Homo-oligomer: A and B are copies of this chain.
Amino acid sequence: MKAIDKMTDNPPQEGLSGRKIIYDEDGKPCRSCNTLLDFQYVTGKISNGLKNLSSNGKLAGTGALTGEASELMPGSRTYRKVDPPDVEQLGRSSWTLLHSVAASYPAQPTDQQKGEMKQFLNIFSHIYPCNWCAKDFEKYIRENAPQVESREELGRWMCEAHNKVNKKLRKPKFDCNFWEKRWKDGWDE
């Protein structure tokens, strides 16, 4: 495989995953909108071709996907040169925050808390770094107003919003009866 110049006239439309490559407005591939594999492919970082790909489509041995054992940052004895998150890592992190926010939302919120939660989700849908993900989430919120009357309501709403994305990505549906165990109480109680 040839390394592909970012500035090439004919940027690839599709990545190794078979998914469409998303570009920024300035024509650069967007890191937080593509999987790391596809990002590395279009930016020519996968120079050994497909030889390093294991069966699950992950790069083997390079630590490229995990940040493991990467070099230290200049001047630091602690922090390593970890690359920015791809669309999946950003997604997992963001769902962790969002469901945890729902889990700690009051059972009986004040009017101010209800207003802030609505605003938070609205603004979130404008600033989420994967901009095409954000657009769909914004539309979802418009059509399915966040339910903020109680923790129970908000937790279910968030679970259903997440299921909407799961469906789009052809991932299995998560049984929302378990959202509290997954994000608030744990499985042992």
Q: Can you name the residue of chain B whose Cβ is closest to the Cβ of A30?
A: B104
B85 touching A100, Cβ below 8 Å: yes
Which partner residue on chain B sits nearest A71 by CB separation?
B187
Shortest distance from the beta carbon of A23 to any chain B beta carbon, whole Å: 14
Please give the distance in Å from A48's CB to the nearest CB on chain B: 15
- Which interface class (under 10, 10 to 19, 20 to 34, 35 or more) fits A? 35 or more
Q: How many copies does the complex hold?
A: 2
Partner of A45, one of B77, B79, B126, B188: B188
- How far apart are the CA atoms of A105 and B128 in the complex, in Å? 10
Contact mask A119-158 → B, CB, 8 Å, 1/0? 1100110111101000000000000000000000000000
- The verdict on A14 contacting chain B, using a C-beta distance below 8 Å, is no
Q: A45-B188, A124-B120, A186-B31 are in contact. Are A100 and B129 (CB under 8 A)?
A: yes
Evaluate whether A129 and B104 lie within 8 angstroms (CB atoms) in the complex, with A84-B183, A93-B93 already known. Answer: yes
A37 at the interface (CB under 8 A from B): no
- Please report A residues at the B interface, Cβ cutoff 8 Å: 31-32, 45, 70, 73-79, 81-85, 89-90, 92-94, 96-97, 100-101, 103-105, 113, 116-117, 119-120, 123-124, 126-129, 131, 171-172, 174-175, 178, 181-188
